[in-house]
Amino acid sequence: MFLQKLMPNQYVDSIHHIDIEELKQRKIRAVITDLDNTLVEWDRPQATPEVVEWLKRLQEADLQVTVVSNNNEERVGSFCSPLQIAFISAARKPTNKAFLQAVRHMNVKIEETVVIGDQLFTDVLGGNRLGFHTILVVPVAQTDGFWTRFNRQMERVALYWMERKGLVSWKSKA
């Protein structure tokens, strides 16, 4: 069923609500995260101090991080390079290629990796299609680029049906 592929394993308010110790207990060794509206607002060029601290906590827990974004190399590179974080831009999520490239680069298995993002139709669908543990976060900003606004409308419909069918244990914030 298509809705099952859109179901995240977890749904949290923000990256800061992800329990890093719980990830370690689950034998997670790597994080693939989206950038725009997951880590920072889509129009914020640099990481906030809180995001820098969160990334530091992941590193201290020996979790590798790769940013996988559909945005262009200039945007993703200018955010990730100062932080010395690996990244894949123009990822074409939800296709498999960038996700598989990230796990190869980090030398981990899919079952040792979590995918974090703010969109059902790119991050969650892409991660679920390959069998990753997926975490959906509430978007950092209430504004989006043109194509993301279209995706958000579709997400609202999908979340509504998931709630009606009792497939989710949370109330959507969309």
Give 112-123 pLDDT, tens digit per residue: 999 999 999 899
Query: For the segment 60-108, what is each residue's pLDDT rounded down to a tens digit?
Result: 999 999 999 999 999 999 999 999 999 999 999 999 999 999 999 999 9
Q: 43-47, 104-108, 131-135 — which is least confidently predicted?
A: 43-47
pLDDT at residue 173 is higher than 60: no
Residue 52, SS3?
A: helix
Residue span of the structural domain in which 59 resides: 2-164
Mean of pLDDT values over 10-31: 96
**How many Cα neighbours within 13 Å face the side chain of 105?**
17
Asked if residue 59 belongs to a domain, the reply is yes
Which pLDDT score, from 0 to 100, does residue 131 have? 97
- Cβ atoms of residues 76 and 83 within 8 Å: no
Does residue 170 sit within a domain?
no
Q: Check if the beta carbon of residue 72 is closer than 8 Å to that of residue 29.
A: no
Q: What are the Cα distances from residue 101, in Å, to 68, 88, 94, 117? A: 10, 8, 13, 17
Would you say residue 173 lies in a domain?
no
CA 58/CA 24 separation, integer angstroms: 10
> pLDDT category, 169, cuts 50, 70, 90?
low
Are 163 and 4 a contacting pair, CB within 8 Å?
no
Residue 174 inside a domain? The answer is no
- CA-based nearest residue to 88, from 129, 128, 33, 50: 33
Please give the Cα distance from 119 to 33 (Å, whole number).
11
Is 171 inside any structural domain? no
Q: Taking residues 125-149, what's their average pLDDT?
A: 83
The answer to the question of residue 172 being in a domain is no
Evaluate if residue 174 carries a pLDDT over 80.
Answer: no
CATH assignment of the domain containing 21: 3.40.50.1000
C-alpha–C-alpha distance, residues 47 and 31, integer Å: 17
Give me the pLDDT at residue 115, please. Answer: 98
Any domain includes 102: yes
145 in any annotated domain: yes
The pLDDT score that the predictor gives to residue 102 is 98
Count of domains for the chain: 1
| pLDDT confidence tier of residue 140, bands split at 50, 70 and 90 | confident
